[in-house]
Amino acid sequence: MSRKLLLLSLLPMLPAAAAAAEWTFELEPYIMATSISGDTSVGRVTGVEVDVDMSDILENLEMAAMLHFEAHSSGGWGFALDYGFMDLGADISAPLGGVIDADLRQGVLEALVMRRTEMGGGQLDIMGGFRWWDNDIDIQVDPAIWPGTVDFGVKEDWFDLVVERALPNRLANGGRCSFGVTLVDWASQQTSPRH
Angle at 190 between CA 189 and CA 193, to 5 degrees: 140
Q: Tens of pLDDT along 27-84?
A: 999 887 778 788 877 667 777 787 888 888 888 888 999 999 999 999 999 999 999 9
Yes or no: say if 127 and 112 are a contact pair by the CB < 8 Å rule: yes
1 vs 21 pLDDT, higher one: 21
Yes or no: say if 70 and 80 are a contact pair by the CB < 8 Å rule: yes
Task: Name the band, by pLDDT with cuts 50, 70 and 90, for residue 141.
Answer: confident
Q: Can you give the residue ranges of every domain in the chain?
A: 2-13+25-194
Q: How far is CA 24 from CA 118, 142, 174, 187, in A?
A: 16, 54, 16, 32
Q: Tell whether pTM > 0.75.
A: no
Closest Cα to residue 152, out of 181, 185, 107, 193? 193
